[in-house]
A and B are shown apart, each in its own frame.
Chain A
Amino acid sequence: MERIFAGEGIDCQSLCRLAGIGRGTGVGYMPIFGEASEAEVTRAILAGFTKDLGEYASTEVIIVGGGPSGLTAARELALNGVRNVVIERNNYIGGGFWIGGYLMNTVTLRSPAQKYLDEIGCPYKKYSENLYVTPGPHACSKLIAAAMDAGAKIQNMTSFEDIVLREKNRVAGVVINWTPVQALPHEITCVDPIALECELVIDATGHDAYVIQALEKRGLAKRIGEGGMWIEKSEDAVVEHTGIAYPGVVVAGMSVCSTYGLPRMGPTFGAMLLSGKRAAEVALKELGRKPKKK
């Protein structure tokens, strides 16, 4: 097959028959894809994007940060019928979940977090009693797919800039901008951000806790910073502290450590998944919604 080309002594229709890809067009090339003009492609991108943006310009929950805790929260909320969008400043989603410690792409989870991998259909192996390992790329891509399959929306290459405050200083949205805008000198760019409204913001921005930082700058909240201890069962403390940190704001994942000064844990992802799950539970309660039975 690979030695036969259109225009080299065989007509297109014969070629297509040989290749088993339907009828040829008789114009001298293989029609693998249907026709679409450049303008139509552009319109499709615009239509899809503006439809999504229009939907989450006002939504129920905005999750800032597309790492494991943010994605888990997004999936859980979507499964419960809560409209939500994940704001991620990078092009790639998943945060640190792609790799484990020391740039090695095996990630570890302590029980019972492996049960969540069961839920999203990600295989794993038992390393020792209570400790499980899985390839980071597999787990991360499964989690992204699971969140989107459930109905979560993702807005990547978008940076969180600020919070929207309403009466009694309750957080009621976020201000966002394209990530590349931040990388350009201020003198040559003047791109105003836009604001998205919501009922609840989940800060899943990791060690930086950007949403809490934004509140801190206004003197509305405080961040303790991560503690120096490294003791057993620290992961429990992260999950247990996941919740409302300020009216309208739930903290999840490593933002919890940073907000409350909890021990650093290293790259153990069990707490991130369970913290995301807890954040969704808290959000459901705040929204006055009952969790659906799975």
Chain B
Amino acid sequence: MRKSSASRGRGIQRVLTPQIYISSPCSKAVNPRRQRRQNTASAGDESADWDIPRIAYLYTDSTATTLRLDEVMAFLRDVLGLRCDLRKDFFSHHGGRDHEALARAIAASRVRNILRPFEPMEPLYGEIHFEHRLLEDPSKRVPGILYDAFRYTALMRDLLPPEERSFRVLHIAFEHRILGTFDEDGRYHARAVVCAYPSAVSTSSIVEGPAKPDAYYRVKAQLAMALGAVPFDAAKQPFTGQFIDYDDPRLTEVAKGYALQAATYHITKEAFCTDPACRLFNAHRQSELLHAQLESGKLCARHETMATAIRAASRARKD
């Protein structure tokens, strides 16, 4: 388990910050070689320890109207040579019929106080009903609630059938819920991608996590003072194109990069790159995100080499 060291952006009235978190509660227990793999110089030296999955399952986020997962799968096939399959959203696929119990478990992973570490609490009656409604209608997107990424991915992991719960199977769930982790600075931070087992890419966190331009927060604050409300659309208008928004047509391209980070982490236990022009860069600001995923849209030389090696290893797999 480790975190990126890049500095975080700060914005007026913004409590959610964009740092992406790496967590691997499963790999730590299963694969003790993880530590010595990290920070090694050559991809060739590491390849013996890689966990190349026989298949990657991608789970759709029904609320993301502009997310085209077939393109994301094609991207993973091209870059890493992974065999991919598309599934409906995670809880629809693995959640079973007992939505009541699942709703209770999801509600129990809510963050109650973003300024304190996670404190388990019996979920409220209305919270369970709310989650139940979302499970019944996965196309309903209701951000505004932060879920603890550790509890949430642990819950997802518990739902995986035993035959799919191994490093030979990669799971990347696209989610509309905002996932976050508590950081050393004493508060929770939203994470666009949670690299764990399974990994989760939050389409809402891609919007809410990385900091928008500083001026946006100033305009938002000024308008809020003047109008007594937060006119998000009016505040965003001068900055159109400078950040990923809900239902943004660029979401698919950005999602490719986050799916790549999750897949790379699964295979090598290394998700991030320090090169701002690499798709594995850990972006804390929307400008960094756009640069890494859209303007550059490439891997750095080192990770390109690594991806080539992974691709070759994937294609050499017999199973």
Residues of A within 8 A of B (CB): 100-102, 104, 106-108, 110, 127-131, 133, 221-222, 224-225, 227-234, 236-238, 240-241, 243-246, 251, 259-263, 265-268
Instruction: Say if the beta carbon of B170 comes within 8 Å of chain A.
Output: no
The answer to whether B15 and A228 have CB atoms under 8 Å apart is: yes
Known: A100-B227, A240-B140. 14 other contacts (CB 8 A): A101-B226, A101-B227, A127-B234, A129-B234, A131-B227, A227-B114, A228-B15, A230-B15, A236-B142, A243-B129, A259-B126, A266-B230, A267-B228, A268-B229
Partner of A251, one of B113, B126, B146: B126
CB < 8 Å A-B pair total? 127
The answer to whether A102 and B143 have CB atoms under 8 Å apart is: no
| Complex CA distance for A232 and B224, rounded to whole angstroms | 13
Instruction: Say if the beta carbon of B30 comes within 8 Å of chain A.
Output: no
For window 240-260 of B, CB contacts with A under 8 Å fall at 246
Known: A101-B227, A106-B228. A128 touches B233 (CB 8 A): yes
Smallest Cβ distance from B92 to chain A, in angstroms?
19
Smallest Cβ distance from A251 to chain B, in angstroms?
7
The answer to whether B233 and A101 have CB atoms under 8 Å apart is: no
Instruction: Say if the beta carbon of B144 comes within 8 Å of chain A.
Output: yes
Partner of A260, one of B15, B127, B208, B225: B127
The interface residues of chain B lying within 8 Å CB-to-CB of A245 are 124-126
The answer to whether A236 and B126 have CB atoms under 8 Å apart is: no
Q: Which of A107, A227, A266 has the most CB of B within 10 A?
A: A227
Smallest Cβ distance from B286 to chain A, in angstroms?
14
| Complex CA distance for A107 and B227, rounded to whole angstroms | 7
The interface residues of chain B lying within 8 Å CB-to-CB of A237 are 142-145
The interface residues of chain B lying within 8 Å CB-to-CB of A100 are 227-229
Instruction: Say if the beta carbon of B133 comes within 8 Å of chain A.
Output: yes
Instruction: Say if the beta carbon of B101 comes within 8 Å of chain A.
Output: no
Partner of B233, one of A130, A221, A222, A263: A130
Residues of B within 8 A of A (CB): 13-16, 110, 112-115, 121-122, 124-127, 129-130, 133, 140-146, 178, 207-208, 224-234, 237, 246
| Complex CA distance for A251 and B225, rounded to whole angstroms | 28
Interchain residue pairs A-B with the least CB separation, the first 6: A101-B228, A237-B144, A100-B228, A108-B229, A268-B229, A128-B234
The answer to whether A101 and B224 have CB atoms under 8 Å apart is: yes
The interface residues of chain A lying within 8 Å CB-to-CB of B127 are 241, 260
| Complex CA distance for A185 and B129, rounded to whole angstroms | 43
The answer to whether A263 and B234 have CB atoms under 8 Å apart is: no
Known: A228-B115, A244-B129. A259 touches B230 (CB 8 A): no
Known: A131-B234, A227-B114, A230-B13. A266 touches B126 (CB 8 A): no
Partner of B228, one of A108, A110, A229, A236: A108
Chain A, residue nearest B225 (CB): A102
Chain B, residue nearest A230 (CB): B13
Smallest Cβ distance from A52 to chain B, in angstroms?
32
The answer to whether B208 and A101 have CB atoms under 8 Å apart is: no
The answer to whether B125 and A244 have CB atoms under 8 Å apart is: yes
Partner of B144, one of A102, A231, A243: A231
Known: A128-B233, A233-B144. A224 touches B228 (CB 8 A): no
Q: List 23 A-B contacts (CB under 8 A).
A: A100-B227, A100-B228, A101-B228, A108-B228, A110-B229, A130-B233, A227-B146, A229-B15, A230-B14, A230-B15, A231-B144, A232-B230, A233-B143, A234-B143, A236-B142, A243-B126, A259-B124, A261-B110, A261-B112, A261-B113, A262-B145, A266-B230, A268-B230
| Complex CA distance for A266 and B233, rounded to whole angstroms | 16
Q: Which of A100, A232, A243, A268 has the most CB of B within 10 A?
A: A232
Smallest Cβ distance from A220 to chain B, in angstroms?
11
The answer to whether B142 and A240 have CB atoms under 8 Å apart is: yes
| Complex CA distance for A230 and B114, rounded to whole angstroms | 12
The interface residues of chain A lying within 8 Å CB-to-CB of B110 are 261
| Complex CA distance for A180 and B253, rounded to whole angstroms | 63
| Complex CA distance for A241 and B145, rounded to whole angstroms | 11
Known: A101-B224, A101-B229, A232-B232. A260 touches B126 (CB 8 A): yes
| Complex CA distance for A265 and B115, rounded to whole angstroms | 18
Known: A102-B225, A228-B15, A232-B208. A222 touches B246 (CB 8 A): no
The answer to whether B237 and A101 have CB atoms under 8 Å apart is: no
The interface residues of chain A lying within 8 Å CB-to-CB of B230 are 230, 232, 265-266, 268
| Complex CA distance for A241 and B134, rounded to whole angstroms | 11
Known: A229-B15, A262-B145. A104 touches B228 (CB 8 A): yes
